[in-house]
A and B are shown apart, each in its own frame.
Chain A
Amino acid sequence: MEGDIVQMGAYIGAGLACTGMGGAAVGVGHVVGNYLSGALRNPSAAGGQMATMFIGIAFSEALGIFSFLVALLLMFAV
């Protein structure tokens, strides 16, 4: 019985950890949106900043990945 409750808590926690994805989505959208609005104002400078945009996406996405990691840990390690 106690083990079941612990497992239920772990599964609920893993599901809740998925809300972190929403944060990553907001972050990535923010980065790309701002890149696009800047690129439309000055299209000639857009190409050079592509790499910076991808680095920004990667850093912002990393925090979403940590929520995925927490979900995985709760599913398989706890």
Chain B
Amino acid sequence: MASESMGVEHVSEESGLVFHPMDQFIVKPLFGDGPIAWYTPTNVTLWMALAVLAIIALMVLSTRKRAIVPGRGQSIAELAYGFVYKMVEDVTGKDGIKYFPYIMTLFLFIVCANFLGLIPGSFTTTSHLAVTVVMALAVFLTVTVLGFYLHGVSFLKLFWIEQAPLVLRPILALIEVISYFVRPVSHSIRLMGNMMAGHAVMKVFAAFAGLAVIAPVSVLAISAIYALEILVSFIQAYVFAILTCVYLKDALHPQH
């Protein structure tokens, strides 16, 4: 019998389950297997489009009736709207409400993409750095441009903390500048890392299921991790949205 430490490779040889835990993240063209250009429809574009369709189904189709006593779909839509609205209001204050549609869009897209990615056999678009980096850079650029647009040069006071003693201020300014430019990095890699790691762990346990002795443990572990992943999918979308709110608050009120 194989020792457990080399289980993954050994199992795949024995039972014909030939897959690598990272295989699920390969971008493939939908039709044929030619080279991938920027316009090629791939599984990423398919699942992103499905996420958009899911949002449309939830927010447009289910609320079409505008019932006074909401049905199931409408109450989920209302719940999501109220949840994000309250979050934006709590974190950015009254004058941040203007930017609520942007944050709502980000939140809904990420939450739908994450949940669709949890369907067995589907593709998690948010596990790709290219997808999350676009969203994080968009937030970063929006917030920076908005800060300079609203406050002009005095937006730079964000880095010059006036409450601190004068001697410390240059050092703090350096740290603040570094942490400002690290924001898009951590913002994007947090989402991508969480999604990728969770799905890879599920696949690793799935590989253990080929070994009859530990198969029950493995199946239980997959179920437990799946439940955890549902939680993580939601929390990561929430964290992405709330960090967008925090960055937005910095742009709206740079004087701490």
Contact = CB atoms under 8 A, between A and B. Distances in A.
A55 B248 CA distance: 14
Most buried by B among A66, A68, A69: A68
B29 to A, nearest CB: 23
B186 A55 contact: no
Contact of A54 (B185, B186, B239): B239
A54 B246 contact: no
B91 A62 contact: no
A58 B243 contact: yes
A10 interface: no
A54 B235 contact: yes
Interface string B232-256: 0001001100110010000000000
Interface residues of B, number: 15
Tell me what chain A mostly uses at the interface: helix, strand, loop, or mixed.
helix
B28 interface: no
Contacts of B235: 54
B87 A51 contact: yes
A66 B186 contact: yes
B186 A62 contact: yes
B90 interface: yes
A36 to B, nearest CB: 16
Contacts of A69: 185, 189
A58 B90 CA distance: 17
Contacts of A66: 185-186
B169 interface: no
Nearest to B186: A62
B171 to A, nearest CB: 19
Interface in B144-194: 182, 185-186, 189-190, 193
Given A51-B87, A51-B91, A54-B238, A68 B243 contact: no
A58 B190 contact: yes
Contacts of A58: 190, 239, 242-243
Interface of B: 87, 90-91, 182, 185-186, 189-190, 193, 235, 238-239, 242-243, 246
